[in-house]
A = this chain, B = another copy of it.
Amino acid sequence: MSEQPAPAPVPVLPAEVADALKRDAAGLVAAVVQQFDTNEVLMLGWMDDEALRRTMTSGRVTFYSRSRQEYWRKGDTSGHVQWVKSVALDCDGDALLVRVDQVGAACHTGTRTCFDGRGLPVVAGDAGAAGNAS
């Protein structure tokens, strides 16, 4: 038999990270994206294992689009790149906090964040008026 080169290993998430993820029915976890220096919450996206692996290893944020069912690396079309500063997984494994340096607008509508100008009417809570919480 002729010798064949060994197939290149398929890159995967570190086992301790993959084991800690609590994925939804679609295999995804929520990814909160925050500007690293101002702490603004810019947007929320979704990641499967491969999107998280790319985000952890490439310096750029990659999401998995639930509507288009494909990977998208933020900024490839718009130029509005997200440079990764840090990633943390929450206590129950279903949410990521991705701190980035956002180039330009995070939102495809052109606003800095996906929440700008989108407030809902609320009754604000007030610890003083309500007294001590039990």
Binding site for B on A (CB under 8 A): 14, 17, 24-26, 30, 32, 34, 38-41, 43-44, 55-60, 66, 75-76, 79, 81-92, 94-95, 97, 100-101, 103, 107-109, 111, 114-115, 118-127, 130, 133-134
How far is it, in angstroms, between the C-alpha of A32 and the C-alpha of B96 when the chains are bound? 11
Interface on chain A toward B: helix, strand, loop, or mixed SS?
Answer: loop
Contact among B60, B79, B86, B118 with A88 in the assembled complex (CB-CB below 8 Å): B118
How far is it, in angstroms, between the C-alpha of A97 and the C-alpha of B94 when the chains are bound? 17
A102 to chain B, nearest CB (A): 11
Residues of B with C-beta under 8 A to A34: 41
A115 to chain B, nearest CB (A): 4
